[in-house]
């Protein structure tokens, strides 16, 4: 691979193809299936399962079939990994949309949110938005209404948290004004303590997304996972041939 990849999955359109893929060749682990079965919301359960089928297919395309049914190893901070240690990955999904990142050039993290009302007071939003700018090497947030602006900030922070495995809380704590030494620049603090930089991604209207990559890495294009059975099978075969 020698780079990072970003894949968008329309879980509604791809549902039949992903179900057929898993039925023909199971890739989910027993732990995956048990976790999905424990979910009480049927729509959320289905979308999460489909998103993980897509993730497993992408990982197999890069790592080979030996990872089928292998449980994820989860760190203390909740960051998942597989035995295919050369590939970092990250999954985000909201409603019937998913975003998956793969990288063999260092850590990677993605987040995806849909447009909605945000019930967070303005006083709490301001430091979060400042942190999001710092984590993106000073790139300002795009203009928009307050909720849009906040969601654009939030996906940046979540992407960095997923890439580093540190969690959102420690990132925000590190960038709180009282934690930044007197005379220091918040951007410098972020750059000095984070191994990744957040980048905004252009998505369809109503979706906000960001990816976190090591500094200096090229931002990959967001590709769409095939949503037809035949196209998905061909795509997997092409990946196996190129491996």
The confidence band for 240, taking pLDDT boundaries of 50, 70 and 90, is confident
Q: How far is CA 171 from CA 85, 115, 121, 238, in A?
A: 25, 24, 20, 39
Segment 138-144 mean pLDDT: 93
Strand partners, 94: 97
Please give the model's pTM, rounded to 2 decimal places.
0.90
Lowest mean pLDDT: which of 12-16, 17-21, 39-43, 170-174? 170-174
Q: Is the pLDDT of residue 194 over 50?
A: yes
Q: Is the pLDDT of residue 183 over 50?
A: no
Q: What is the predicted pLDDT for the residue at 135?
A: 93
Q: Residue 62: which of 119, 122, 97, 105 has the closest Cα? A: 105
Q: What is the predicted pLDDT for the residue at 181?
A: 47
Lowest mean pLDDT: which of 80-94, 115-129, 151-165, 177-191? 177-191
Q: What percent of the chain has pLDDT over 90?
A: 63
Q: What is the predicted pLDDT for the residue at 151?
A: 97
Q: What is the predicted pLDDT for the residue at 172?
A: 73
Q: CA geometry: angle at 68 spanning 111 and 22, to 5°?
A: 75
The confidence band for 32, taking pLDDT boundaries of 50, 70 and 90, is very high
- Cβ burial of 145 (10 Å; 0-12, 13-18, 19+) is exposed
Distance separating the N- and C-terminal Cα atoms of the chain: 8
Q: Is the pLDDT of residue 175 over 90?
A: no
Segment 162-182 mean pLDDT: 70
Pairing state of beta strands 97-103 and 88-94? antiparallel
**Contacts of residue 193, Cβ cutoff 8 Å, sequence gap at least 6:** 174
Q: What is the predicted pLDDT for the residue at 178?
A: 53
What distance in Å separates the CA atoms of residue 103 and residue 105, rounded to the nearest whole number? 6
Segment 173-191 mean pLDDT: 51
- Cβ burial of 85 (10 Å; 0-12, 13-18, 19+) is exposed
Segment 39-58 mean pLDDT: 97
Give yes or no for a contact between 67 and 58, defined as CB atoms under 8 angstroms apart. no
The confidence band for 173, taking pLDDT boundaries of 50, 70 and 90, is confident
Domains in the chain: ranges and CATH: 1-104+219-243 (3.90.470.20), 106-216 (3.90.470)
Give yes or no for a contact between 42 and 6, defined as CB atoms under 8 angstroms apart. no
Q: How far is CA 63 from CA 60, 125, 182, 209, 240, in A?
A: 5, 40, 47, 26, 9
Please give the mean pLDDT across all residues of the chain: 88
What pLDDT, in 10s, does the model give residues 68-124?
999 998 887 778 888 776 799 999 999 999 999 999 989 999 999 999 999 999 888
Q: What is the predicted pLDDT for the residue at 35?
A: 96
The confidence band for 180, taking pLDDT boundaries of 50, 70 and 90, is very low
Q: What is the predicted pLDDT for the residue at 170?
A: 75
**Contacts of residue 70, Cβ cutoff 8 Å, sequence gap at least 6:** 29, 82, 83
């Amino acid at each position: 691979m020698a780079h990072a990849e970003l894949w968008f999955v329309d879980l509604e359109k791809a549902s039949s193809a992903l179900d057929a893929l898993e039925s023909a060749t199971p890739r989910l682990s027993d732990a995956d299936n048990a976790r999905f079965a424990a979910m009480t919301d049927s729509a959320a359960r289905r979308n999460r399962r489909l998103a993980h089928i897509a993730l497993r297919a992408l990982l197999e395309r890069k790592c080979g079939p030996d990872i089928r049914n292998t449980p994820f190893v989860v760190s203390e901070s909740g960051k998942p990994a597989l035995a295919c240690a050369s590939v970092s990955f990250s999954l985000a999904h909201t409603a019937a949309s998913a975003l998956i990142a793969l990288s063999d050039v260092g850590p990677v993290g993605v987040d995806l949110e849909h447009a909605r009302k945000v019930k967070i007071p303005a006083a709490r939003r301001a430091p979060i938005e400042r942190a999001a700018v710092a984590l993106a090497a000073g790139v300002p947030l795009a203009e928009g209404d307050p909720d849009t602006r906040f969601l654009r900030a939030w996906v940046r922070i979540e992407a960095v948290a997923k890439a580093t495995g540190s969690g959102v809380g420690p990132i925000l704590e590190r960038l709180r004004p009282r934690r930044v030494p007197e005379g220091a620049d918040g951007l410098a603090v972020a750059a000095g303590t984070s191994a990744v930089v957040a980048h905004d991604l252009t998505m369809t209207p109503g979706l906000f997304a960001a990816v976190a990559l090591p500094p200096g890495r090229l931002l990959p294009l967001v590709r769409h996972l095939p949503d037809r059975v035949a196209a998905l099978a061909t795509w997997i075969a092409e990946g196996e041939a190129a491996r």
